[in-house]
Structure 1
Amino acid sequence: MELFAEALVTLLVVTDPVGNVPVFLALTRRRPETRRQAAWQASAVAGVVIYAFALFGQAILRALGISVASLEVAGGFILVLAALELLQPRGQGHAPDADGVNVALVPLGTPLLAGPGAIAATMVYVQRARGAGQVAEVLLAVLAVLVAVYLALRFAHGVGRLLGDNGIELLSRVVGLLLAAIAVQMTATGALYWAQHGV
């Protein structure tokens, strides 16, 4: 189970279930009653994306002529939009979860949880696996991480009650800034890969 343990630790670090709790609270601050549903939807979306790339990732990327670096740059652009929405004062613009937009799908499910890092790491471990048994270990590690993600988001409402509306509003500004920084880092990493290896 060495491969299982290695994949589990890596994916836990990349998806950062606890670290995404503030992001989850900030993105759902306008409609806190939807948090329970959003928790399982985000986990399910992340699972579908990660499993799809684990099983068919190389074929998908080759067929479309897309590199992992391109996924990083695209994910960065998506996160920039979410960050800008969070940084706007209340009443200006549109909240990320307003007007029927489901933030559990984008940007929470992907690219925050099922981002380029999680996708690339899973694809690497699947490639390293020797035989169906080790592939099953990697897929089981992904499942364990998704359960951890769901539990962290499912019980985020306790943190929300502790912070209150004003606390979540303040948190949303901080999270918006951090999301912008993550977006810049993702874009820069992809661009650096392009510069070194070509698109």
Structure 2
Amino acid sequence: MIFNVTLYLTATITLTVIMDPTGNIPVFLSLVGRRSRESRNKAARQGVLVSLGVISAFAIGGEAILSYLGIGIPALQGAGGLLLLLIALDLLTGKGTTQPEAVEDVNIALVPLGTPLLAGPGAIAATIVFVRQANGQVASYLALAAAILTVHLINYLVLRYSGLVIRLIKDSGIVLVAKIAGLLLAAIAVQLVAESVKGFITGAA
């Protein structure tokens, strides 16, 4: 068998659901909604490339990296949750809008878009699980690689054309979206921290 179709479909659907491309639109627009179309496209492209790099790195050597550093999935969830909480507070208070544009370009591509929104603890954990399922089979590794590329292409297209939403909501809508995105990010952050605590308790039991 040259290509594991079952693993490809399973990994594509799972990672798409976890990364939630459409759910990231409010956060993306709240961060880059007032910029030019070129800047928005650049942020979308860089963020997706950062995510692809992180996910690929963990697919290749995720278990070895975590084992060497002595880090578990609960620790990743806790760190990601705290990071998202800080970003959520910036969005809710409006402090994030005062940063210089050059600095924002870097921050948006790396944090929070590339990681932990796209390449978050859930996506990393799922990728490691799928690598285990591949069980050393070339056909399965090819399927997983194709799935990772497919998911990131979907994410890029969704963010790339999210500018269509800006034409409808205008500047006042962007402000509202920023507040909603901050609230949603805060909820996601609390959920990640809760899952992290649960993971530590379960692991210690």
TM above 0.5 = yes
CA deviation after TM superposition for structure 1 residue 29, in Å: 3.1
Matched, 1:4 2:8: yes
| Aligned twin of 2:27 | 23
Q: Distance in 1 between matches of 2:79 and 2:99?
A: 21
From 100, 123, 133, give the equivalent of 1:128.
133
Q: Distance in 1 between matches of 2:164 and 2:17?
A: 23
CA deviation after TM superposition for structure 1 residue 96, in Å: 7.7
Give per-residue Cα distances to partners, 1:93-140, cap 9 Å, x unaligned. 342864513212101100000000100001101110131110110111
Q: How does 1:1-199 map to 2 (within 5 A)?
A: 1-33=5-37, 34-89=39-94, 93-95=95-97, 98=100, 100-101=103-104, 102=106, 103-130=108-135, 131-198=137-204
Q: Check the 8 A contact 1:72/1:190 in 2, yes or no.
A: yes
CA deviation after TM superposition for structure 1 residue 60, in Å: 0.2
Equivalent residue of 2:61, what SS? helix
Indicate how the Cα distance of structure 1 residues 97 and 144 shifts in structure 2: closer, same or farther if over 3 A, else same: farther
Q: Distance in 2 between matches of 1:13 and 1:163?
A: 26
Give per-residue Cα distances to partners, 1:156-199, cap 9 Å, x unaligned. 11111211000010011011001000000001101111011139
**How many correspondences in the alignment?**
196
Higher percent of residues as helix: 2
Give per-residue Cα distances to partners, 1:6-61, cap 9 Å, x unaligned. 11110010011111111110121343441010010011000000000011000000
Q: Distance in 2 between matches of 1:110 and 1:32?
A: 23
Indicate how the Cα distance of structure 1 residues 22 and 79 shifts in structure 2: closer, same or farther if over 3 A, else same: same
Equivalent residue of 1:149, what SS? helix
Gaps of 5+ in 1: none
Q: Check the 8 A contact 2:26/2:180 in 1, yes or no.
A: no
Q: Check the 8 A contact 1:72/1:189 in 2, yes or no.
A: yes
Letter in 2 for 1:86: L
Gaps of 5+ in 2: none
Q: Distance in 2 between matches of 1:196 and 1:188?
A: 12
Letter in 2 for 1:183: A
Letter in 2 for 1:26: S
Q: Distance in 2 between matches of 1:127 and 1:94?
A: 40
Q: Distance in 2 between matches of 1:42 and 1:60?
A: 22
TM-score by structure 1 length? 0.94
Identity over aligned residues, as a percent?
A: 46
Indicate how the Cα distance of structure 1 residues 198 and 29 shifts in structure 2: closer, same or farther if over 3 A, else same: farther
Letter in 1 for 2:6: E
